Amino acid sequence: MAATAPESHLRENPFSLAQQQLHKVAETFGIDERLVNVLQECKKAVEVSIPTSLDDGSVRAFRGYRVTHNVSRGPSKGGIRYHPDVTLDEVKALAMWMTWKCSLMGLPFGGAKGGVSCDPKKMSRGELERMTRRFTSEIINEIGPEKDIPAPDVGTNASTMAWIFDTYSMNKGHSVLGVVTGKPLTIGGSLGREEATARGGLFCLESALEKQGRSMEGLTVAVQGFGNVGSFFAKFVAELGAKVVAISDSTGGIFNANGVDVAAAFVHKRSGGSLSELKGGDHITNEELVTIDCEVFAPCALEQVVTEENASDVKAKVIVEGANGPLTPAADDVLESNGVLILPDVLANAGGVVVSYFEWVQGLQEYFWKEDEVNARLNEIVRRAFDETWATYTDRKVSMRMAAYGLAVQRVAEATVTRGLYP
């Protein structure tokens, strides 16, 4: 079986792109080559086979991964994704991005990521549970509250985290609340976690608009992806007076120059429907949504949706990266030269890991916070990170991505030097 499905959405090797980004940052910020040699590699990568009994009585062995990129600032942290195109190199890239994201937000974590190559949309709940529990058993020695803390990502949710939490706890003989974040509220989840990634993106967009002397009122926004991140982001900006002109999910989407009914779409999607069934606008493809006429474009689905081929057709002047790595480096260059302000993934979608950190802390203390407390602390951390990034962006005359990565990589490099090399 080939490592990458031929119909993969990944046009370029994501780990190579992540390494290229790191080298570019090192050149710009003068980071020692010896440190780059350490930071460009992942500390540990585990690949496991996950034999699973399917509902028809057959058994299928899925392929799963757990990668730790760096632990110099604390235990590693990162989501688990279930998607047909999951590869080891994709998971490595995502783990590296998580390191920078945690560093930029000032969290005491390093980066990790996990994934299983499967199509969760074609699996029953029972199959997903059996596969998740076996996957947890296979990586049980790799994860733990002081070691590596998984969370939800593409294709996984609170139920997935509940199964991992339960499997891990059953093996340990007692409940271990801090082993995963993104859990249901009834078993140690945090208020505000579900909306956190989108809320963080909203705080970044509000901060950027403030710097430009603009407001959310009447702003035209297109959102690609209507999962956890995209749906809440569209809902939040619409509630603050923005006009969401286009939305999409994996089946396609709709465009309406007068504004899509986001509240209706939100309810429709939550009840199991797809956006391609929605009325109230012109049906568009995901490719068409990228180049829709709007002021703000929020890619909240998968990586590499804006490439060198379509970057010059993007009409938005602000891009909020709700997804990880939605723009290729070549696309970045085109957009920068066209004067587009890019709010990079390590800044714009870090709200999820910030509230995951809050959940981890609450789990360790077994003391839980009110929702307004969670959101206020999230706001404080994200806006501080935005202001630090903006200051570097203006002082160093570099892109917002380079500023964010520069701050993040320098902090990890400093921690690495402070700790020294063992032995």
Q: What is the reported pLDDT for 3?
A: 39
For residue 122, the 8-state DSSP code is: G
- Residue numbers annotated as active site: 113
- The C-alpha angle with vertex 367 and arms to 365 and 369, in degrees rounded to 5, equals 125
pLDDT digits (tens, 9 = 90+) for 39-50: 999 999 999 999
Residue 389: pLDDT band (50, 70, 90) is very high
DSSP structure string for 153-194: -TT--HHHHHHHHHHHHHHHTS--GGG-SS--GGGT--TTTT
Residue among 303, 144, 339, 278 nearest 225 (CA): 303
Are the folds of 44-177 and 196-348 the same?
Answer: yes
Residue 303: pLDDT band (50, 70, 90) is confident
- Tokens of residue 115, six digits: 């994934």
pLDDT digits (tens, 9 = 90+) for 6-29: 456 667 888 998 999 999 999 999
Q: What is the reported pLDDT for 277?
A: 85
Which architecture characterizes domain 44-177 according to CATH?
Answer: 3-Layer(aba) Sandwich (3.40)
Strand partners, 113: 67
Residue ranges covered by each domain of the chain: 44-177, 196-348
For residue 340, the 8-state DSSP code is: P
pLDDT digits (tens, 9 = 90+) for 223-267: 999 998 999 999 999 999 999 999 999 889 999 999 999 999 999
pLDDT digits (tens, 9 = 90+) for 60-106: 999 999 999 999 999 999 999 999 999 999 999 999 999 999 999 99
- Residue 85 CA to residue 34 CA, distance in Å, equals 33
Q: What is the reported pLDDT for 5?
A: 41
pLDDT digits (tens, 9 = 90+) for 144-171: 999 999 999 989 999 999 999 999 999 9
Q: What is the reported pLDDT for 201?
A: 98
- Tokens of residue 100, six digits: 């920078």
Q: What is the reported pLDDT for 400?
A: 97
Residue among 318, 323, 283 nearest 303 (CA): 323
Q: What is the reported pLDDT for 11?
A: 73
User: Options 3.30.300.30, 3.40.50.720, 3.20.20.80, 1.10.10.60; which CATH number does 196-348 get?
Assistant: 3.40.50.720
Residue among 370, 372, 387, 319 nearest 106 (CA): 387
For residue 327, the 8-state DSSP code is: B
**Which residues lie below 8 Å from residue 197, measured CB to CB, with a gap of 6+?**
228, 229, 232, 322, 349, 351, 352
What share of the chain has pLDDT > 70, as a percent? 98
User: In whole numbers, what is the pLDDT of the chain averaged over residues?
Assistant: 95
Check whether 359 has a pLDDT greater than 80.
Answer: yes
The stretch 268-297 carries a mean pLDDT of 91
The stretch 351-362 carries a mean pLDDT of 97
Residue 279: pLDDT band (50, 70, 90) is confident
The stretch 339-358 carries a mean pLDDT of 97
DSSP structure string for 263-315: HHHHHHHHTT--GGG--SSEEE-HHHHHT-S-SEEEE-S-S--B-TTTGGG--
Report the largest interatomic distance among the alpha carbons of the chain, rounded to a whole angstrom.
Answer: 64
Are the beta carbons of 96 and 88 closer than 8 angstroms? no
The stretch 289-305 carries a mean pLDDT of 93
What share of the chain has pLDDT > 90, as a percent? 90
Q: Would you give the end-to-end CA distance of the chain in angstroms? A: 40
Least confident of 6-10, 175-179, 385-389: 6-10
Q: What is the reported pLDDT for 7?
A: 56
Q: What is the reported pLDDT for 12?
A: 82
Least confident of 14-18, 171-175, 371-375: 14-18
Q: Which helix (H) or strand (E) holds 97?
A: helix 88-104
Q: Which helix (H) or strand (E) holds 66?
A: strand 59-68
- Residue 183 CA to residue 185 CA, distance in Å, equals 6
pTM for the full model? 0.94
